[in-house]
Copies of this chain bind each other. A is one copy, B any other.
Amino acid sequence: MDVLTVLNLGEFAHVFSKMGMFPVFDLAYYIVSILYLKYEPGSVEVSRRSPVASWLCAMLYCFGSYILADIMLGSSPIDYFQHNSHILLASAVWYLIFYCPLNLFYKCVAFLPVKLVLVALKEVVRTRKISAGVHHAHHAYHHGFFIMVIVGYVKGSGVALMSNFEQLLRGVWRPETNEILSMSFPTKASLYGAILFTMQEAHWLPVSKSILILAFTLFMATSKVVMTARHSHGSPFTLIESWVCHLLFGSPLGDSEEDHHHPPAATPPTSPLKTKEELSEGARKRKVKKAE
């Protein structure tokens, strides 16, 4: 009976890992991504003043991972824009989220239960992107393990890694911080995922790729759904990370969590910003509402 379970699980994982992403999962990805764009302070004003800039930002949010991966592998950064149906679908989502009368579409998709489902679907796409990115890099550089990790990482993180330049497009410039200096949970998870998938591709992990995709998807979807439901920004890696960083890099223990509560005097240039960001986090939703 045990063998059967394994067989079924393996088969399920195989089917899951071959499932097409377009249009349902991609649609969820676009909706959640552009929702986050609308949460950004000032993005609604930009959408009124310059629809072209707003559309470009939305495209970066939806296709940033493809753009970055294409840059990393030396292809045309707008290579993915040849898929007209994907671009049109994302553009329609952008239009509905920003300009729908009565803000109806936004209210529907930002409704928590709906949003939780969309967030879970988005993580399915993210995992598949990481896996595809690592595989693509493996194809181009057979033993380029660093390249495989980097490409998988940018495929998973997407626009976050170029947030400074995406903000610049909207006239905002915050050089004091960036996604690498203070990684958010999805960026960190993408990095770890890219390392795992690279190890799998190099046959250093004794699991099949489809099982890894299934497991990583479950982990990501669960984490993000719980975090979204609890409006939390903590990460499940905090404890283990702080110990590893303490041992390897001499970072002070419990740093990432406590930082927010008692910012140490040692990092004056970034702490005021953090506070401002946290404030704006709170002010964000009000602004979005007010702007409509």
Binding site for B on A (CB under 8 A): 42, 45-53, 56, 70-79, 81-82, 84, 87, 98-99, 140-141, 143-147, 150, 164, 168-173, 175-178, 180-183, 191, 245, 248-252, 255, 266-267, 269-270
User: What CA separation (Å) do A147 and B63 show in the bound complex?
Assistant: 14
Give min CB distance, A189 to chain B, whole Å. Answer: 13
| Copies of this subunit | 3
Q: Are A181 and B144 in contact (CB under 8 A)?
A: no
**Would you call B72 and A78 a contact (CB within 8 A)?**
yes
* Pairwise interchain contact B150-A78, C-beta atoms closer than 8 A: yes
CA distance A270 to B147 in the complex (A): 39
Note all chain B residues with C-beta closer than 8 A to A169: 178, 180-181
Known: A72-B76, A72-B77, A269-B171. A180 touches B53 (CB 8 A): yes
**Is the beta-carbon distance between A76 and B74 smaller than 8 angstroms?**
yes
**13 sampled A-B residue pairs with Cβ under 8 A:** A42-B269, A46-B181, A48-B252, A49-B267, A52-B183, A74-B75, A84-B144, A87-B146, A99-B248, A169-B180, A171-B177, A171-B178, A171-B270
A79 nearest in chain B by CB position? B74
A53 partner residues in chain B, CB cutoff 8 A = 178, 180-181
Q: Which residues of B contact A146 (CB under 8 A)?
A: 78, 81-82, 84, 87
Residues in B with CB closer than 8 Å to A49 are 181-182, 251, 255, 267
CB distance from A178 to the nearest CB of B (A): 7
| A170 to B164 alpha-carbon distance, docked (Å) | 13
* A130-B250 Cα distance, complex, nearest whole Å: 38
In the assembled complex, the CB of A175 is this many whole angstroms from the nearest CB of chain B, namely 3
Bound-state CA distance A267–B45 (Å) is 8
CA distance A49 to B177 in the complex (A): 12
Given contacts A141-B82, A171-B181, A181-B171, contact A250 B99 (CB under 8 A): yes
Q: Across the interface, which residues of B come within 8 angstroms of A245, CB to CB?
A: 51
Q: Give every chain B residue within 8 A of A270 (Cβ-Cβ).
A: 171
Q: Evaluate contact between A180 and B50: CB separation under 8 angstroms.
A: yes
- Docked CA distance A87–B267 (Å): 30
Closest to A87 in B: B146
Contact across chains for B250 and A52 when beta carbons are under 8 A apart: no
Task: Report the minimum CB–CB distance from A248 to chain B (whole Å).
Answer: 7
Q: A53-B178, A82-B141 are in contact. List 5 more A-B contacts (CB 8 A).
A: A42-B269, A49-B267, A82-B147, A99-B250, A171-B176
**A54-B248 Cα distance, complex, nearest whole Å:** 14
- Chain B residues contacting A45 (CB-CB under 8 Å) are 266-267
